[in-house]
Structure formats: C-alpha cells, structure tokens
A and B are shown apart, each in its own frame.
Chain A
C-alpha cells in the first residue's frame, strides 16, 4: 500500500543515508556530526537572495503545532538561515536528539519541505568540482588524474580511520584517480587533540610529502591511546617512527602559519558545506559514510564517475 511505503521512505530520508550513498549536503547519521552553530546567518551563502528570516519563536510555533500533541517528541532548533533557493529558509532541526535534519520553510506559504538538498541536472557535480580545484592538501595517486577524490578528514575521528584504507585501496585499484587529503579537525569540544594532530600532519606533508600518508596511518592506528595531555609526545613519537624529524615537526606545528593553513582547509570544507567527517568528494559528488558502503559498490561508483569525467 502506498502510504506504507511512503512511511518507510520517510524513515529512510530522516534516519538513513539513502542507498548507502548520501549525496546530500546535510548532516546525516555518522558518528561525528558537527553541531551547527546557534547563529550562522553571517555565513549564509552569498548566492542567497535576501529573505526575511522567521524568528526562532515562529519556527518553534510551527513545530509545536505539528508535533506538540505528543510529549514524547522533542526537538532542538540549531540554525535558521536563508536557503540557496529564492524565498526558502533553511531550518536545521534535531528531532528527538537525533542528527539534525533540514526543513526548508517557505515563509510566504503554509508549507515547508522536509528533506535534503541534492545536486540535480545533467551536470550536477560541476559546481562542487569547480570549487574543489582549490584543494591543496597532500595527494597520492595519478599525477594527471582523470578524476579526483578529495577527503575532508579528522585524525581523531574513528570513521576517518575506517575510511583511510578504503581510499588507499581505491587509489591502487584506479590508477587514473588522485586522492587529496584535506584537514578538517572537528571542534575541540568534540575532538580535543584533532587540531594539534592536523597541525603536525600539515607540517609532515611540508617536511616529507611521501611520508605524510604513513604518518597519518600511524596516527589513525594509535588513535585510542592519544589524549589531549599526551598528544604532543605521542605525535612526536609517531613522527620519529615514520622517519620524520620530531623536534622540527613540533616546532613547525606550533607556528601560527600552520594553524592558519589548517584553518584555511577547514574554511574550504565549510564553503562546501562539509559538516561531518569523513566527507569525501568523488569527482565533486559528495559521499558520506564511506566506511559503510560495500567496496564493490564504491568501485562501481568510482568507475561511473571516471566515465562521466567532466560532467
């Protein structure tokens, strides 16, 4: 019956990354969602037309009118900002303490669209691909790639650890592919030593490009035994073990320039609506939760993107 399958669908939309591959820009079910800031209207995409934003109270009233009948249903409004669509407002709301979902509210009508914005059209990933040309992190794989894979990663994030060998294998299996690693340490409130690790890793790439990948592999491997207090020592230890000059590396990591570079990478990710790690772009196509996708399916996807290089 139709309504039943629709019901299932909503569960899917709200709770699960569809078909194993989520192409949306929203925060979905992963271990490392990055809580949206309470107010980020300043960061609204410049493409958005000015739209009179509804107040938090107005959104609250709307949610209450819809869900208020059941005291067991709770919600938190994270963010209200202009959507990249004329006349729509993007409301980020968490239902029952789950990862936030988007509600695109149309303030001039009694409607909203609950769901995820996805690229559409004949060449849907071109805008992201264009932006990703500015990726400047360490690379491996083809020097003149047919397509590029860019990963935004956090060295303290367990799902990033899981993603690393998968991406390495893709680069081996597809010699036409180049992989770029972008630092995306999540806030210290979530991952206390992620920023420091990103700084060390950034310096590692500067010092010895070919050792960088070994270095981050070793950090991933030792993730469980690193804490904020011991981070410097551990990161130096691992540096020595991978053949880097640990003292030099620590000095470099402490330089303001290094932090600036890591922050640049963070901002770069944010400009692509990255809000969780790992976020992987395959030829501009956003893939979330890469560690949960069967490898064969991932391979098919990469091949498909190679076949569609440039469009």
Chain B
C-alpha cells in the first residue's frame, strides 16, 4: 500500500513525528526540568490575547504550564477554539515560543520510553524472550480501543516473536471504565489466557453497559470467558486491585499517555495507533523489530 495520497502520507508522517510527547511529566523529573523559569498563567494569557485577541471567534484556555524535556523551555498546553490542543514551547526570554510538538529525535529516540515501560506488568501474550514489546494502554469503555483491538490481535498473530502487554488506562470521563479495569485486572491475575476472551467480550458489549448495570454485565462477560464471576467480582472490589490499576495509569502518565488507545511499539508512541492502517502498522512493527535496542 504505497499509493497513499500525499496528504495522508504527510499526515501520517506527522503523526509519526509527533508521536509521544510528554505533556504530563508526572514522574521522572530530570534536573533540567526543575531549572526552568515557568511563565505564569496570566503571562501566557496576555501573550495569547496579544496574538489572537483581534478575532473574537478565537478562544483559548491555558491548560497546563510545566517544564519540558528540553532544558530551559516551558511547555504550555492551550485548548484553542475548544477543540485543538496546542503546545507552545516558551523560550527562556518569554519573548518567543515554538508552536508545535516535542518529538523524540536522534539515533536512539525511543530508549527513554522503552526503559520507563520495562516495569509494565499487565497481562501479556507472546514469547518469553521477545524481539520487541508492544505495550498498549487501553480503556475498556473507549470505542477507539474497541476499534483498535482487531488490529492488535492481527499483529499478535502476524508477529509471533513480539510480546504484547495490555495496560489498564481507564479515563476519568468514562463512568464504568474503572470498574471494568478492576475486573480485567483480576481476570489477568487469575487466568492470563482467558483474560483476552474477557476483554473481547467487554468490548463487544460496550454499547449495552452502563454504570448501574456494570457489575452484572461484567460478571456475565466473566462467566462467558470461563471465569468464576463471584470470585472475580470480589477481587475487583479489593483495594489492592484498585492500587494496581492506579499504578498502571501512573505508568502510562510517566510516558506521556493522554488518550486511549496509546500503543508503544518498543518505546515508540502511537496515540490512536497513529491513525495507521494495518499495512503501515505492520511495516512499522517490522521496522522496530529491525531496530530492536536502538
């Protein structure tokens, strides 16, 4: 599939380039990150007012001001027109900013994420000694995660030497996602092989699950996948289970996960699977296999 229209190819290249920004460096502050002098929200607002204030149709909201991964530069995230998340990398002088996206770059750009993802301990499939690992952060209530699953499954069968790890990343805006993640976590602990059946069944029934019916529905899926539903439900209610799911969320945040699904192919981040079709995904997994370790 080499006949991509130019725009699509570009979009895709841009997605690749843009993959994996780290907007919420909740963990792993390097010394450089603490050295930056951050602009205040008021200063950012004033600058945006001076830039965009001429047009009443342009609105903005300053969401986030934090040190970036590049020493001295502040990362400012702005919601523009209530739909576009824009990063302004504000330079030390405060008089200039780069409007764009921080991307991994260099001969071994994905090493940092790869090492951060080493503790990923979600349910896995694939060989014990894999060439590369693919880690997916997923939310069982998220339609895009459901849509991504067939491609992930296909990759898993096409690349027997690749290890696939599923990390829970329930989003706050999804009412029953957390509960489903708790059930799924317990399922993974109890029977890794049946875990995949369980999440497939949850994805399948996504449309018919609501917060009020979540327990019943999840138990149904558990039974269908061969679990003891009562046991699973009891496990899901344990504080230790919630702690594990939260740990998985924290792991995702430490590598810049903001939305689901976000897939890391040997450390290389693909939010929304990069919008890639299966052939390109396959190409990418092959490429990363050839670059294992760098």
Separation in Å of the B254 CB from the closest CB of chain A? Answer: 16
Q: Which residues in A have their C-beta under 8 angstroms from that of B224?
A: none
Q: Are A15 and B96 in contact (CB under 8 A)?
A: no
B104 near A110 with CB under 8 A, answer yes
**Beta-carbon contact of A65 and B291 below 8 Å:** yes
Residue A50 at the chain B interface, CB threshold 8 Å: no
Chain B interface size, under 10 / 10 to 19 / 20 to 34 / 35 or more: 35 or more
Out of B2, B13, B50, name the residue touching A123 (CB < 8 Å).
B50
Q: Is the CB of B51 within 8 A of A23?
A: yes
**Which one of A62, A102, A303, A308 contacts B105 once the chains associate, using CB atoms below 8 Å?**
A62
Pair count A-B, CB < 8 A: 232
Question: When the two chains form their complex, are residues A117 and B101 in contact, meaning their CB atoms are under 8 A apart?
Answer: no
Binds A, one of B186-194, B199-207, B232-240, B278-286: B278-286
Q: What per-residue 1/0 map shows which CB atoms of A1-36 lie under 8 Å from chain B? A: 111111111111111001100011000000000000
A109, B12: Cα distance in complex, Å: 24
Q: CA A23 – CA B2 in complex, angstroms?
A: 35
Stretch among A70-78, A175-183, A210-218, A234-242 lining the B interface: A70-78
Is A113 close to B, CB under 8 A?
Answer: yes
Contact with A along B178-190 (1 / 0, CB 8 A): 0000000000000
0 or 1 for each of A129-173: is its CB under 8 Å from B? (1 = yes): 000000000000000000000000000000000000000000000
Q: Is the CB of B55 within 8 A of A297?
A: yes
B109 touching A66 by the CB < 8 A rule?
Answer: yes
Q: Which residues B1-21 have CB closer than 8 A to chain A? A: 2, 4, 6-7, 9-18
A9 touches B84 (CB 8 A): yes
Residues from 82 to 105 in B contacting A, C-beta threshold 8 Å: 83-105
Residue in chain A with minimal CB distance to B3: A72
A243 at the interface (CB under 8 A from B): no
In terms of DSSP, what is the predominant structure of the interface of chain A? Answer: mixed
Are A95 and B13 in contact, with the CB atoms below 8 A? yes
Which stretch in B65-73, B119-127, B161-169, B209-217 binds the other chain?
B65-73
* Minimum CB distance partner of A120 in chain B: B97
Shortest distance in angstroms between A82's beta carbon and chain B's nearest beta carbon? 14
Interface 9-mer from A84-92, A193-201, A253-261:
A84-92
Partner of A111, one of B7, B88, B102: B102
Question: Across the two chains, which residue of chain A brings its CB closest to B273?
Answer: A3
- Is B262 interfacial (CB 8 A cutoff)? yes
Cross-chain contact B10 with A15 (CB below 8 angstroms)? yes
Shortest distance in angstroms between B81's beta carbon and chain A's nearest beta carbon? Answer: 9
Tell me, in angstroms, the Cα distance from A242 to B107 when the chains sit together: 61
Q: Does A187 contact B (CB under 8 A)?
A: no
In the complex, the answer to whether A115 meets B100 with C-beta atoms within 8 Å is: yes
Query: Is A103 close to B, CB under 8 A?
Result: yes
Binary contact readout A43-66 vs B (1 if CB under 8 angstroms, 0 otherwise): 000000000000000100110011
Query: Out of A3, A98, A121, A301, which one reaches B271, CB within 8 Å?
Result: A3
Contact A1 B272 (CB under 8 A): yes
A69: contacting residue among B89, B98, B286, CB under 8 A: B286
A65 contacts B6, CB within 8 Å?
Answer: no
8 more contacts with CB within 8 A, not counting A7-B275, A66-B105, A119-B51, are A2-B258, A3-B271, A4-B275, A7-B272, A66-B109, A87-B70, A111-B103, A120-B90
Residues on A lying within 8 angstroms of B by beta carbon are: 1-15, 18-19, 23-24, 58, 61-62, 65-73, 84-88, 95-96, 98, 102-106, 108-124, 127, 297, 300-301, 303-305, 308, 311
User: What are the 7 tightest A-B residue pairs by CB atom distance, in nearest-first order?
Assistant: A115-B100, A304-B54, A69-B287, A112-B105, A3-B272, A3-B271, A120-B97
A-B contact pairs, 19 of them (CB 8 A): A3-B272, A5-B83, A11-B11, A23-B51, A24-B99, A65-B106, A65-B294, A70-B12, A86-B92, A102-B100, A103-B105, A108-B71, A118-B88, A118-B98, A119-B51, A121-B43, A121-B96, A301-B55, A303-B54
